[in-house]
Structure 1
Amino acid sequence: MSKITLQVKFLIFLFVFGTALYNDVVGQTHNVGQEAELILAQYQEAKSDKIKLELISQLVRVIHYSDSAQKFYPEAIRLARLVGDAELEAQNLNRLGVYYRNMNLQEDALKLYEEALTISRLADIPVQIGHSLNNIGQIFFYQDQFEESMNYYKEAESKFLEIEDNEGLAYNYNGMSLVLAAIGNFDKALDVINKAIKIREELGNERQLTVSKFNRADILMSMGDYKNAEPDIMNLYDYGMANDKIRAINALEKLVELKLKTAKYPQAINHAKEAILLHEEKPYSESMIEIYQMMYNYYFDRGNPSESKKYVDLLEREKDILNAEKTKNYLAGLTIKKQKDEIASLYREKELMEINNRFKLYLSFVLFLLAFAMFVVFSIYYRYYLKEKRNLLTLKEKQKQIEAQALELDRLNIVKDKIFSILTHDLKAPLDSLWGMVKLIDEDNLSQSEFEEYLPIISQNLGNNSMLLENLLIWSRSQMKGMHVQLSRLNVHKLVEENIRFLLSSGYYKGQVIENYVAHDIEVEADKNMIDIVFRNLLTNALKFTREGDQIIVDTKESDNIYTVCVSDQGTGISEEGLKKLFGNDFHSTNGTHQEKGTGLGLILTKELVQKNKGEIWAESTLGSGSTFCFTLPKL
């Protein structure tokens, strides 16, 4: 048996016996309830803190296994500190720690045990020192810190031997045996648990004796001594059948395991069936999961699919029940922890209130003078603060204005530089060419045939300049915040047709086929001049990057609230890197199929105009396979 399995089984068994003891208490509810009510009434009428401490300590001993005990422990501890009774303080700290341990709040329990140990040592109270050491050893055992656990148990053993406390020794040996078994020292573990059993037989504590014998059975089974383990398991079974069926189920789990290991399969099956019947009467999922698992493995190994299927179904159902129960217990633990914190907070608040009441009379006048002085200081400071705040706000506003003006000035400088660049390079070169040609004509240095040859080039350059100037003027006005949307009802088909007719006579037209597939009845509400420029720029781009015979199509798609207008071409297309640069703030341009030059301004302006008309624009393209530029316009 592994160390982890041994610990888990001990925790489960501890829970079983805790539950059983609680059931024993519930079975005596009438008597316990009457005794608790009597003690509580006496406590409420008591005048002396010492008497109150004795009564509340007696009360928590009576109701120790009930949830209601938790709220009385902090008061018992507070009273013990108040009257200076270190023994009752340590005792109640240890008992409260046991309560938290049973609720799986191990860290909280450990803090209480350590506090009890400190108090017990300072006051030299051997019994409470021993119990505190035992309790701390148990927590370290749960946390797999076996060496530390054993050290605490050995120190507790020496303390109990010193004062001849046999009951404490029995608890000590019981816990120590578990640590020894966990580290694989089974012979020593068996020797120690036998000591615990002998003491408990002499004390006549049947319940604790059953616990120790069952622990011995676990050790014997780990050693493979099934014959001697069986009587101890049967002892638990008999005790459980007489007192609580949960303990009987726990014993049946071990009996099933024992019979399977000793190849007494019919007896194992009978024990499992008996456990199932008891489980229906008194549910206990932890042991039943182990039984179902063992029976499933047994039938699966023997090739009995029907029985193995039955037990695996029972196993899964029981796991679900256990998981739900664990979740419930976890939430209960959180609730208890929260209640603990709230109770501690209430007691701290109560203590503070008592201290405040004692000094209230003496401090009231001082506090009044202090409050008055603070009021005067605060008034002066507040007036100064308001003045400084107003000055600061004024300063921040001026700073924001200066920063905004600086940013705007930087932006306008960039715009200005770009405009000058366009005027210097993109407009100057065609005009210089035109001026040179005019000079040649004027000086009769150009023949008629040469003039006719250069005329299309002049026309193209002038057309390019005209388009560039138009874009430049509109964009410049937009950048200077002088452009406003003038909405009107537009027929999209007519607007496309007008732009196609205009561009057929421009220098960009090279014999391409331009198709207007926009439906005649599509109308939108937008700024005509802006959308006109949008169409002109997109169609110009399409003409620029296509060759003679290539097809350019303008079409629309309709959705719920918008029209999507697309200009598609069969031109040179755009690379993936080029697509990323479109519609950005930088001026990016590429020469056309006839080396037509551009500034990159057209698409920047197009994007801005589309957005001003509550639309979006994008492009799709593959290098060498044409491009599609789309933008949206809201429906009427």
Structure 2
Amino acid sequence: MSKFDLSYIYLICCSVIFFGMLQVTPALSFQQELHRIKADSLFKIYQTTFEDEDRLLILSELVQEIHYSDSAVKYYNEAIELAKLVKNKELEAQNINRLGVYYRNMNLQEEALSMYEQALEISLKSGEKVQIGHSYNNIGQMYYYKDYFDEALDYYEQAEKIFLEINDENGLGYNYTGMSLVLGSLGRYREALEKINKAIALRESMGQIRQVMVSKFNKADLLLDLGNFEEAENDIIKLYEYGINNDKTRAINALEKLVELKVKTGDHKAAIQYAEIAQQIHEEKPLSESMIEIYQMMNQIYFNLGDLEKSQEYQTLLQAERNIIKSEKTKVHLAGITIKKQKDEIEFLNRQKELIEQNEQFKLFITYGLVLLLMVISVAYFTVYRALQREKINLAKLSEQNKKIETQSADLEKLNRMKDKIFSILAHDLKGPLNSLSGLVKLIQEDNLTKDEFISYIPILAENLGNNNILLENLLVWSRSQMNGLEVHNSKLDIQNLVQKSIEFLFHSGYYKGQVMVNDVDKNTYALADKNMIDIVLRNLLSNSLKFTRQNEHITISSYEQNGHIVMKVSDQGVGIKQKNINRLFSTEFFSTPGTHQEKGTGIGLILTKELIEINQGEIWVESEYGSGSDFYFTIRKA
């Protein structure tokens, strides 16, 4: 089947779909239904197509239509392998870039960044300018998410040069929209407005209505920061009108900003009206992230107005949405673990395939060597002697290959033991919350639970499930460090602010029992280290202190300077540590003891903490007397 035949078939399918849907599909679901039917048609064509190049073209179109489905990863990987087979570097890089977008939407940022960097490497070698530009753009976006604004701006500027060189207006629309966010975060508002205005003009000229609304929404955010409320309101209202007719999620996003704008201008009546409209749409099309912001603002408005009943009503709604977000984050964490496991299995199978191919090549090489040896023996003794020497070399290579295989076998055995340990921890520590959830569902099914009882159980259940966040985060980071190593991204850290965020986070954990957590770090304390790693260290040390302290006991986080380093100290008035156990805390044996409320641990937290501090060129130690509390110290470089 030729490319002309494929294009002709696809055009007919799309025409039939389009005219049929104009008569039977409401405007709101038109695009979704169109994507679904197009995907079905492409899949049927794909099943009856046998030429690799044609299959690649169809598959690349198909994955774009099913981008948000669970099966997208499988077809992306198939498309990437087909592109490698037919040596189509452009579609190989394009599908790797799109797979990165899928991982980004799943909040798997490290996997997404890895995909973008692979796509950039392939595109630079092949000279595919469009994919080079998109790869730079995507990498810039990931650095923006990590708050590395200077690095993000550098990648966006490289993408801009490429898109200008090839006159890619669609790419420039994405580029200027993303770059404006980075410039705004750097406080360069004039340049940010120039970029977003260019994006809007380009997208209007191309008739990209939805993308124009997105760019205008980003512009409104910049105008809000600058206090230009009137112009910002006009753009936000346009997005709201577009969203009401086409995309309810965008409508709620717009209403969130309208509530914020009215709060900033002191128009509480209008803010309340917009919040009520958002609530109505939210019941039809839930969007917890925006509703949390709206409920927080409504809670504060009614509190300031003295209407405590209304304030409490919005506080209740706020907590309910937070519980939903916690549940979704738990699902995303588990999905991420599954995807990572699948990815590791694919990599293992690929390595195994390579070893088999190497072994076959080696066997072939030995066969040719033996044939050659027999021929040489019949000619002369001298030739035989040289062949024997050559055979010795071959045997040495064989021995080296066997050693490599033995080493790889040992590595695989180590990874398998590590996997068993992780699964053991997951099965043990997730079992309790899941049993609670199962029991609650059973009571509901048997009508043994009143509505008030059900509502009273929800915060407890959400808290139990939320307690696994720190465990899952520790497991993911630790397993990544064991398998692939961790890369440090140093930045200037505001230590007092970082400590405060960790304290606020742990107020909602299952380890908090009414203790008093004190942030005694000076305001102008800055360090040079990896923000995410130090955040994990602080959470682990604080959760450890919470575990071994009781109600009203104090936990104090302080710091001081010493020899060009910041020395951090986490002190508690808890039960302390027995002398015989101190040396076991930072070992690799997963050592743990029950807390004051018999809380169980995995022992992985302090092991990971020690690894992260050492990766950041610091030291960690503990001083404790049993029955008199504990002091944990660690050092990081001063900024």
Match of 2:225 among 222, 226, 232: 222
Task: Show CA shifts across 1:146-172 (max 9, x none).
Answer: 111111111111111111000000110
Aligned match of 1:266: 269
Equivalents in 1 of 2:112, 2:206: separation in Å? 28
1:181 aligns with 2:187: no
Q: How many residues align?
A: 350
1:141 aligns with 2:144: yes
Match of 2:166 among 163, 168, 173: 163
Q: Which amino acid aligns with 2:262?
A: K
Q: Which amino acid aligns with 2:221?
A: D
1:81 aligns with 2:87: no
Aligned partners of 1:71 and 1:343 also within 8 Å? no
Match of 2:323 among 295, 315, 320: 320
Aligned match of 2:202: 199
Gaps of 5+ in 2: 1-26, 371-390, 396-639
Q: Which amino acid aligns with 1:303?
A: G
Match of 2:337 among 334, 351, 372: 334
Match of 1:38 among 39, 44, 50: 44
Equivalents in 1 of 2:29, 2:112: separation in Å? 23
Equivalents in 2 of 1:185, 1:274: separation in Å? 34
Task: Show CA shifts across 1:521-548 (max 9, x none).
Answer: xxxxxxxxxxxxxxxxxxxxxxxxxxxx
Task: State the shift of 1:341 in Å.
Answer: 2.7
Equivalents in 1 of 2:205, 2:114: separation in Å? 34
Instruction: Classify 1:64/1:360 alpha carbon distance in 2 versus 1 (closer, same or farther; 3 Å).
Output: farther
Task: State the shift of 1:319 in Å.
Answer: 0.9
Task: State the shift of 1:361 in Å.
Answer: 7.0
Equivalents in 2 of 1:193, 1:301: separation in Å? 36
Task: State the shift of 1:29 in Å.
Answer: 5.4
Aligned partners of 1:169 and 1:196 also within 8 Å? yes
Q: Secondary structure at the match of 2:107?
A: coil
Aligned partners of 2:256 and 2:290 also within 8 Å? yes
Equivalents in 2 of 1:197, 1:350: separation in Å? 49
Q: Which amino acid aligns with 1:177?
A: S
Give the % identical residues: 55
Task: State the shift of 1:270 in Å.
Answer: 0.8
Aligned partners of 2:89 and 2:123 also within 8 Å? yes
Equivalents in 2 of 1:230, 1:224: separation in Å? 11
Match of 2:34 among 8, 25, 28: 28
Equivalents in 2 of 1:345, 1:306: separation in Å? 59
Gaps of 5+ in 1: 1-20, 375-636
Q: Secondary structure at the match of 1:334?
A: helix
Match of 2:154 among 126, 138, 151: 151
Task: State the shift of 1:348 in Å.
Answer: 4.7
Counterparts in 2 of 1:55-66, with a 5 A limit?
55-66=58-69
Q: Which amino acid aligns with 1:315?
A: L
Equivalents in 1 of 2:88, 2:274: separation in Å? 52
TM-score (norm 2): 0.51
Aligned partners of 2:36 and 2:66 also within 8 Å? no
Instruction: Classify 1:362/1:155 alpha carbon distance in 2 versus 1 (closer, same or farther; 3 Å).
Output: closer
Instruction: Classify 1:99/1:177 alpha carbon distance in 2 versus 1 (closer, same or farther; 3 Å).
Output: same
Task: State the shift of 1:82 in Å.
Answer: 2.6
Counterparts in 2 of 1:545-556, with a 5 A limit?
none
Equivalents in 1 of 2:178, 2:29: separation in Å? 24
Task: State the shift of 1:52 in Å.
Answer: 3.2
Equivalents in 1 of 2:42, 2:112: separation in Å? 25
Task: Show CA shifts across 1:584-622 (max 9, x none).
Answer: xxxxxxxxxxxxxxxxxxxxxxxxxxxxxxxxxxxxxxx
Q: Secondary structure at the match of 1:161?
A: helix
Task: State the shift of 1:346 in Å.
Answer: 3.9
Equivalents in 1 of 2:46, 2:143: separation in Å? 36
Instruction: Classify 1:23/1:94 alpha carbon distance in 2 versus 1 (closer, same or farther; 3 Å).
Output: farther
Equivalents in 1 of 2:187, 2:30: separation in Å? 35
Q: Which amino acid aligns with 1:39?
A: I
Aligned partners of 2:176 and 2:195 also within 8 Å? yes
Counterparts in 2 of 1:64-463, with a 5 A limit?
64-349=67-352
Equivalents in 2 of 1:322, 1:23: separation in Å? 25
Equivalents in 2 of 1:245, 1:179: separation in Å? 27
Equivalents in 2 of 1:320, 1:210: separation in Å? 31
Q: Secondary structure at the match of 1:28?
A: helix
Task: Show CA shifts across 1:110-166 (max 9, x none).
Answer: 111111111111111111111111011111111111111111111111111111000
Instruction: Classify 1:30/1:132 alpha carbon distance in 2 versus 1 (closer, same or farther; 3 Å).
Output: closer
Aligned partners of 2:36 and 2:65 also within 8 Å? no
Equivalents in 1 of 2:347, 2:41: separation in Å? 27
Aligned partners of 2:296 and 2:315 also within 8 Å? yes
Equivalents in 2 of 1:243, 1:22: separation in Å? 5
Counterparts in 2 of 1:471-482, with a 5 A limit?
none
Q: Secondary structure at the match of 2:71?
A: helix
Counterparts in 2 of 1:556-635, with a 5 A limit?
none
RMSD, aligned α-carbons: 3.0
Q: Which amino acid aligns with 1:82?
A: L
Aligned partners of 1:74 and 1:344 also within 8 Å? no
Q: Which amino acid aligns with 1:334?
A: I
Equivalents in 2 of 1:341, 1:40: separation in Å? 28
Equivalents in 1 of 2:74, 2:213: separation in Å? 31
Q: Which amino acid aligns with 1:121?
A: L
Between the two structures, name the one with larger relative contact order (CA 8 Å, sep ≥ 6). 1
Instruction: Classify 1:184/1:23 alpha carbon distance in 2 versus 1 (closer, same or farther; 3 Å).
Output: farther
Q: Which amino acid aligns with 2:299?
A: Y
Equivalents in 2 of 1:30, 1:105: separation in Å? 25
Aligned match of 2:511: none
Task: Show CA shifts across 1:189-230 (max 9, x none).
Answer: 111100000000001111111110110110110111110011
Instruction: Classify 1:223/1:342 alpha carbon distance in 2 versus 1 (closer, same or farther; 3 Å).
Output: same
Q: Secondary structure at the match of 1:144?
A: coil
Equivalents in 1 of 2:149, 2:28: separation in Å? 30
Equivalents in 1 of 2:35, 2:58: separation in Å? 20
Task: State the shift of 1:349 in Å.
Answer: 4.5
Task: State the shift of 1:64 in Å.
Answer: 2.4
Q: Secondary structure at the match of 1:37?
A: helix
Aligned match of 1:458: none
Aligned partners of 1:241 and 1:248 also within 8 Å? yes
Q: Which amino acid aligns with 1:31?
A: I
Aligned partners of 1:22 and 1:65 also within 8 Å? no
Aligned partners of 1:285 and 1:318 also within 8 Å? yes
Task: State the shift of 1:340 in Å.
Answer: 2.6
Aligned partners of 2:39 and 2:65 also within 8 Å? no
Aligned partners of 2:200 and 2:212 also within 8 Å? yes
Task: State the shift of 1:356 in Å.
Answer: 6.1
Task: State the shift of 1:352 in Å.
Answer: 5.5
Instruction: Classify 1:181/1:156 alpha carbon distance in 2 versus 1 (closer, same or farther; 3 Å).
Output: same
TM-score (norm 1): 0.51
Q: Secondary structure at the match of 2:43?
A: helix
Instruction: Classify 1:30/1:111 alpha carbon distance in 2 versus 1 (closer, same or farther; 3 Å).
Output: closer
